[in-house]
Chains A and B, each alone.
Chain A
Amino acid sequence: MSASAANPPEQSTTDGAALLEVRNVAKRFGALDVLKNISLNIASGEFLTLLGESGSGKTTLLRLIAGFEQPSAGEIWMVGERLDILPPYKRRVNTVFQNYALFPHLSARDNVAFGLRVKNTPASEISGRVEEALGMVKMQGFAAARPCKLSGGQQQRIALARALVNRPQLLLLDEPLSALDANLRKQMQSELKSLQREIGITFLFVTHDQEEAMALSDRIALLRDGALEQVAPPREIYAHPATAYTAQFIGQTNLLRGEIRGSIATCGALRWPLEETDGPVIFSLRPEAIRICADGKRQTNEVKCRGSIRQQLYGGSSELLEVDCGSGQTLRVRIPACGPLTGEHEFIFSLADAVRVQE
């Protein structure tokens, strides 16, 4: 558990005051602690992603904010108003559900108009706003169709329009892209991102896909077993993971376990000087931070080692190597595509790239 969990770093929030404050929220289902003392602020206009494995509690947190579940402890506030005591229909929050949850008996247009109709919006205003919302998601041509006649991607767009037409202060998205195939998913990701920039609504996005989280978010809140592991912008969380779990979950990494003794860090076959107190230590070293040392030269702040290539996975623009450095130390190395490699090579990485992480 990192120190930054409870207090997101100052520089990582986008401009604007906190729109939503989650204060020490816990949720128990019977004997099961699904969420443990979560505190999280979401800034106005921010795109924040709740990332975590299934069962980490991310969907539960979303449902607490939407109002479908009540917190067992703690409070949720939105712009000076206590949210967790309001029924879902009184919250200025809308949700895009994982399976879209479109009303099967209503046309796409009537689905989008639903939120306005139940609030007795004048009919003249409804038609304008519905067309506008359908336009935002490029679905004007399908307004009359029933949901069962629409593809998954089209249903997704209607679900988005149905939420956005209410002009919520906060939009909750519960794994909205998980049911789409890979290509459509990428396309929807970029559309979702530009849509969020255009309309400036705060997005709270739930996903288990770390690539999606990195591509879309202003900040990522990583959940692990119902607790916040780290909250930080994607670049920061990738470059400076606070814990071994974060480092492994976000992207690929080499976790180097070892110890420091007498200002020397030793991790298997790797050794380098480090001015720290003695004790066990873990470093995260990204595969792309390691390169093949062709000329054998080494700067003072670099570490060099010999290793034999055990496996090579070709990935188009890059190659992923599995390198055996001896002493049971295996390193994963990502280098630009270079053709088949065999035998022993010298590998080198900069000390700055070996990031010390907590257990």
Chain B
Amino acid sequence: MYSRAYKSVASIPPLLWVGVFLLLPYALMFVNSVWAVREGLIVHQWNWDNYKTLFTNPLYAQVLFRTMRIAASVTLCSLLLGYPLAYYLAFHAGARKDLLYQLVIVPLWVSYLVRGYAWKTILGSDGVLNGFLQYFHLTHEPVGFFLYSPFAVVLMLTHIYTPFVFLPIYAALEHIPRQLVEASQDLGAGSFQTFWRVILPLSMPGLLAGATFAFVLSLGDFLAPLLVGGPSGTMIANVVQSLFGAAFDWPLGAAISVGILVITISLLFLSEILEKRWAFK
């Protein structure tokens, strides 16, 4: 057993970390959100007008709605890519498992920005993809919507977050005792029935964790829309960024941030509850 003194000393660093890097910034952000801007200056005057704007100005609701739609698309696409990949690696890859696993992980070591610019090069009007399509006469002029569109944002974010979805699903699948798969086959279930009735339910906690990663990380992303989104692909984080930058309306930006924070935390709670419901020993 550890002594009381040891326990108190050991808990100082994490508490300090949470306090300085999480609670303090959140508190500052919240305080900012109830201030106001008068004649280009932030005045410390307690009011809820920023939150009113958030609910009454349809522009913000529209961007927020688009952001959630993009995040949902990214989640869906990375699940559709990540789950089969994880399933193959966990059950059928055999000796190639380690190599393939490394290949999935390697992109995580490449800078986010580099990957963003790579997509620009691929999707642009004179990019790789359009060049390819024209070379084979599949199209006659550059296709415009590849770049600077919600499509491009979804594509890039899916590329970036698929490993995050893959990892928890793979971990969950690896932990399923192989004897359960044999038991299922023994009781007359073919591959599909075994997947549907045994493997999918038992990998649910991993699937939820992966989906939460993809959705929450996409929700707060501002680099992908900045690089490949264009005006039609603007997301809520870009609005916040511009409010803190050129528009110089920190209070409104802070109010939006608090809104996103509330959504994110609610989602994390929900996923936590669902994961617990699906967790089995």
Interface residues, chain A, CB within 8 Å of chain B?
66-68, 87-90, 93-95, 97, 99, 101-105, 114-115, 117-119, 146, 148, 162-163, 166
Contact of A105 among B179, B190, B193, B278 (CB under 8 A): B278
Q: How many A-B residue pairs have CB under 8 A?
A: 68
Q: Contacts A95-B183, A118-B197, A148-B281 given; indicate if A101 touches B188 (C-beta within 8 A).
A: no
Chain A residues with Cβ below 8 Å from B278 are 105
| Max chain A C-beta neighbours (<10 A), residue from B184, B188, B202, B280 | B188
A89 and B188 alpha carbons, distance in the complex (Å) = 4
A105 and B189 alpha carbons, distance in the complex (Å) = 16
Chain B residues with Cβ below 8 Å from A66 are 182, 186
A93 and B183 alpha carbons, distance in the complex (Å) = 11
Contacting pair B188 A105 (CB below 8 A): no
CB distance from B207 to the nearest CB of A (A): 13
CB distance from A357 to the nearest CB of B (A): 39
User: Does B23 sit at the interface, judged by CB under 8 A?
Assistant: no
Contacting pair A104 B179 (CB below 8 A): no
Contacting pair A89 B189 (CB below 8 A): yes
A119 and B189 alpha carbons, distance in the complex (Å) = 8
Q: Contacts A105-B278, A118-B197 given; indicate if A89 touches B183 (C-beta within 8 A).
A: no
Contacting pair A97 B187 (CB below 8 A): no
Q: Contacts A105-B201, A105-B278 given; indicate if A166 touches B187 (C-beta within 8 A).
A: yes
- Cβ-closest chain A residue relative to B278: A105
Q: Contacts A101-B180, A105-B280, A148-B280 given; indicate if A95 touches B186 (C-beta within 8 A).
A: yes
- Cβ-closest chain B residue relative to A66: B186
Contacting pair B188 A166 (CB below 8 A): yes
Chain B residues with Cβ below 8 Å from A101 are 177, 179-180, 182-183
Q: Which of B172-220 contact A (CB under 8 A)?
A: 177, 179-180, 182-190, 193, 197-198, 201-202
Contacting pair B198 A89 (CB below 8 A): no
CB distance from A111 to the nearest CB of B (A): 9
Chain B residues with Cβ below 8 Å from A115 are 187-188
Chain A residues with Cβ below 8 Å from B183 are 95, 97, 101-103
Chain B residues with Cβ below 8 Å from A114 are 184, 187, 189, 197
Interface residues on B, range: 20 to 34
Contacting pair B202 A104 (CB below 8 A): yes
Chain A residues with Cβ below 8 Å from B179 are 97, 99, 101
Chain A residues with Cβ below 8 Å from B202 are 104-105
A68 and B180 alpha carbons, distance in the complex (Å) = 12
- Cβ-closest chain A residue relative to B200: A105
Contacting pair B182 A88 (CB below 8 A): yes
| Max chain A C-beta neighbours (<10 A), residue from B180, B184, B186, B280 | B186
Apart from A88-B186, A118-B184, what are 19 other A-B pairs with CB-CB below 8 Å? A67-B185, A67-B186, A87-B190, A89-B188, A89-B190, A90-B188, A94-B187, A95-B182, A97-B183, A101-B180, A104-B280, A104-B281, A105-B201, A114-B197, A118-B187, A119-B188, A146-B280, A148-B281, A166-B187
| Max chain A C-beta neighbours (<10 A), residue from B179, B183, B197, B280 | B183
Chain A residues with Cβ below 8 Å from B186 are 66-67, 88-89, 93-95, 163
A166 and B188 alpha carbons, distance in the complex (Å) = 9
| Max chain B C-beta neighbours (<10 A), residue from A90, A102, A114 | A114
Contacting pair A68 B281 (CB below 8 A): no
Chain B residues with Cβ below 8 Å from A166 are 187-188
A-B CB contact pairs (8 Å), 8 listed? A89-B189, A101-B183, A105-B280, A118-B190, A119-B188, A148-B281, A163-B187, A166-B188
Q: Contacts A101-B179, A103-B198 given; indicate if A118 touches B280 (C-beta within 8 A).
A: no
Chain A residues with Cβ below 8 Å from B180 are 101, 103
CB distance from B257 to the nearest CB of A (A): 39
Chain B residues with Cβ below 8 Å from A118 are 184, 187-190, 193, 197
A114 and B184 alpha carbons, distance in the complex (Å) = 8
CB distance from B13 to the nearest CB of A (A): 36
Chain A residues with Cβ below 8 Å from B182 are 66, 68, 88, 95, 97, 101
Chain B residues with Cβ below 8 Å from A163 are 186-187
Chain B residues with Cβ below 8 Å from A97 are 179, 182-183
- Cβ-closest chain A residue relative to B202: A105
Chain A residues with Cβ below 8 Å from B188 are 89-90, 115, 118-119, 166
A148 and B187 alpha carbons, distance in the complex (Å) = 21
CB distance from A258 to the nearest CB of B (A): 49
CB distance from A167 to the nearest CB of B (A): 12
A104 and B279 alpha carbons, distance in the complex (Å) = 9
Going nearest first, the 5 A-B pairs with the smallest beta carbon separation are: A104-B280, A115-B187, A101-B183, A118-B189, A101-B179
Chain B residues with Cβ below 8 Å from A148 are 280-281
Contacting pair A89 B185 (CB below 8 A): yes
- Cβ-closest chain A residue relative to B193: A118
| Max chain A C-beta neighbours (<10 A), residue from B177, B182, B202 | B182
CB distance from A103 to the nearest CB of B (A): 6
Chain B residues with Cβ below 8 Å from A146 are 280
CB distance from A11 to the nearest CB of B (A): 34
A161 and B280 alpha carbons, distance in the complex (Å) = 22
